[in-house]
Amino acid sequence: MPISANGACGDHLETGFDSGIPGRIITVTGVWKSAITPKPMKYLLLLYASITALLPGPALSQEGGPDWGVDFQSFAFGTFAARTHGERPPGPEASNFLLAEERLRLEFNLWTEVAEAEALVKLDGVHDAVTGDFTLDLREAYLDFTRGQADFRFGRQIATWGVGDFLFINDIFPKDWVSFFSGRPLEYLKLGVDTLRGRYSSDAVNAELLVIPRFKPDTLPTPERFLLFGDSERTTSRNESIPDTGLDNPEFALRLYRRFRNYDVSAYMYRGYWRSPSQLIDDPGNPAEITQFFPALSTYGLSAQGQSLGGVISLEAGYYDSRDDRSGDNVSIPNSQARFLVGYRKQLSEDVTLGLQYYVEMMTDFTAYENSLPTDGKRNRKYRDFATLSLSRFLQHQTWKLSLFAFYGPVEQDYLIQPRVAYRFSDNFSTVLGANFFGGRTRTSFFGQFDRNDNIYLTLRYDF
């Protein structure tokens, strides 16, 4: 993916979860959002009502003089993912639903052509029907402006790099794997990151630089909602150590790109931290305290994508330099890795599209890793791979869309199958019925550990 491969436990999936596919077993608690009182949701509804009353149309703009405007959009949807097994996790969030929530999205876009600038805000009000909590989720909030051949963006934004389809090598930005495994719309796989982004365009080369002063980890499945292999009820203390970043110690990400003949070619560099945590356990045989931490990481990579062989060819490679364990003998920190991806997508007919991908990662310093393992410790493989199949078809003037996305790991013999049926009743009202089916030869494989979390979900959406 990768879905990723960090010690604890796209552009698209990685454990973890950093390869794009996680390598080790995930038994993390994650970061909880604080519940807020229902008042903020009432205020959000009041704000929506006020805006719709004041704006007679989708946009308000000045007549005459400098060109400027305010665009407003909104939609509401509910997603309900029912477990297909009879088991439920222990605790107050035990439910027959892996996910049950309603969201109201408010989106504002303020723009002006005079200064070539715009501001965008995407805010979700969220009601969790399992816990009864109301929260606010600020998806994006940034300011854009352009100066000649350069443009700048400041604030919370979604960043997407690489050419993989749910397999990530050079897309090192945070992901929400809970959303991906429980049926939320695919846009919720990507998390907004607070960053300063600059881009420069020229005939010779284009450049994109991100300076990220605030570290944000991946959102991973937790034992509060997911049945996870290896999670111990004897663990009484779970701590998390977040990297100490700031304006004086930020993460950096750089992309250089240009068109070369029939291909879009990119080079990448990142210096920061693994997005999925590693773990320190006080006593592996009888764990009472687990500390999660995020080791230092640098990545270097290349990608190319273009028309060939009657379809679209995608190639991507990356090297993960695990700076805190370059010798490879610390079992608590992932070893450095080399990762490769090849993909092919072809439109078989006007309404049918087929996609194939193969991803492989190789652990470096494998001998040092093996020699450092305790005698009874779990042994990760030197190589790990995933093959994916995607197939989609539109029906009845594209009001219906049937799709399938499947992951299979030949080495670990595990899989995730995601069938999906979408139907649009009208321009405003749509629905999606889908499922997530996990499995594997063993419960220590990446997808195999989620074997008891199969779910069928339904999403209903209305655009105002």
β-strands 296-308, 311-321 pairing: antiparallel
Region 356-374 average pLDDT: 90
- DSSP one-letter code for 224: T
| Residue 23 backbone zone (phi > 0: left; psi -120 to 50: alpha; other: beta) | alpha
Prediction pTM value: 0.86
Query: Rounded distance, CA 462 to CA 23, Å?
Result: 38
CATH number of the domain encompassing residue 46: 2.40.160
Structural domain count of the chain: 1
| Residue 352 near residue 346 (C-beta atoms within 8 A) | no
Q: Is residue 423 part of a domain?
A: no
pLDDT band, very low/low/confident/very high, at 306 (cuts 50, 70, 90): very high
Q: Which residues pair with 311 in a beta bridge?
A: 308
Q: What percent of the chain has pLDDT over 70?
A: 82
* 294, part of any domain: yes
pLDDT in tens, 22-65: 433 333 333 333 334 455 566 666 666 665 555 554 455 555 55
221 touches 278 (CB < 8 A): no
d(CA 103, CA 459): 11
pLDDT tens digits for range 250-269:
999 999 999 999 999 999 99
Residue 454 domain-assigned (yes or no): no
Whether residue 266 lies inside any domain: the answer is yes
Q: How far apart are the first and last CA of the chain?
A: 35
Burial degree of 382 (CB within 10 A; 0-12, 13-18, 19+): middle
Angle at 241 between CA 240 and CA 243, to 5 degrees: 140
For 102, the domain range is 39-337
In a domain, 245, yes or no: yes
Asked whether residue 140 is assigned to any structural domain, the reply reads: yes
Asked whether residue 419 is domain-assigned, the answer is no
Residue pLDDT, tens place only, 390-399: 999 999 999 9
- Examine residue 45 and state whether it is found in any structural domain, yes or no: yes
pLDDT tens digits, residue range 66-119? 588 899 999 999 999 999 998 999 888 989 999 999 999 999 999 888 878 999
Mean per-residue pLDDT, 164-186: 97
